[in-house]
Amino acid sequence: MSYANWRASKKRQAHFLWKDIKEHRTCYLFLAPYAIVFTLFFIAPVLVSIGYSFTYFNVLQPARFIGFQNYINLILADDIFLTAVKNTFLIAAITGPIGYIMAFIFAWLIHELPRSIRAIAVLVFYAPTISGQVYLIWSIIFSGDAYGYFNAYMVEFGFIDNPILWLTDPRYMMIIVIVVQLWLSLGAGFLSFIAGLNTIPADQYEAGYVDGVRNRWQELWYITLPNMKSMLMFGAVMAISQSFNTADVSMNLCGFPSTDYAAHTVVTHLIDYGSTRFEMGYASAIATVLFAVMYLCNKFIQRALMRLGT
Touching another protein, residues 14-53 (CB under 8 A) = 17, 20-21, 23-24, 26-28, 30-31, 33-35, 37-38, 40-46, 48-49, 52
Interacting positions 257-296 with another protein (CB under 8 A): 267, 270-271, 274-275, 280, 283-284, 287, 290-291, 294-295
Question: Minimal distance in Å, beta carbon 171 to another protein?
Answer: 23
Interacting positions 71-90 with another protein (CB under 8 A): none
The closest alpha carbon to 236, from 284, 154, 295, belongs to 295
Cβ atoms within 10 Å of 102's Cβ, excluding its own: 17
Told to check if 98 binds another protein by CB under 8 A, we report no
d(CA 168, CA 164): 9
Binding part of the chain for another protein, among 3-11, 72-80, 87-95, 113-121 by CB under 8 A, reads: 113-121
Nearer to another protein (CB atom), residue 126 or residue 166 = 126
Question: Minimal distance in Å, beta carbon 213 to another protein?
Answer: 6
Task: Identify the burial level of 281 via C-beta atoms within 10 angstroms of its C-beta, where 0-12 means exposed, 13-18 middle and 19 or more buried.
Answer: buried
The closest alpha carbon to 165, from 253, 261, 80, belongs to 253
Residue 97 near residue 181 (C-beta atoms within 8 A): no
Interface with another protein: number of residues (CB under 8 A): 104
Task: Identify the burial level of 290 via C-beta atoms within 10 angstroms of its C-beta, where 0-12 means exposed, 13-18 middle and 19 or more buried.
Answer: buried
d(CA 292, CA 305): 20
Interacting positions 150-189 with another protein (CB under 8 A): 152-153, 155-156, 183, 186, 188
Residue 173 near residue 249 (C-beta atoms within 8 A): no
Told to check if 126 binds another protein by CB under 8 A, we report yes
Question: Minimal distance in Å, beta carbon 8 to another protein?
Answer: 21
Interacting positions 180-239 with another protein (CB under 8 A): 183, 186, 188, 191-192, 194-196, 198-199, 202-203, 205-206, 209, 213-216, 219, 228-231, 233-234, 237-238
Binding part of the chain for another protein, among 2-10, 83-91, 102-110, 165-173 by CB under 8 A, reads: 102-110
3-state SS of 234-281 is HHHHHHHHHHHCCCHHHHHHHCCCCHHHCCCCHHHHHHHHHHHCCCHH
Contacts of 130 (CB under 8 A, 6+ apart): none
Told to check if 69 binds another protein by CB under 8 A, we report no
Residue 275 near residue 267 (C-beta atoms within 8 A): no
Among 141, 170, 172, 309, binds another protein (CB under 8 A): 141
d(CA 130, CA 187): 8
Question: Minimal distance in Å, beta carbon 189 to another protein?
Answer: 9
Binding part of the chain for another protein, among 5-13, 90-98, 149-157, 168-176 by CB under 8 A, reads: 149-157
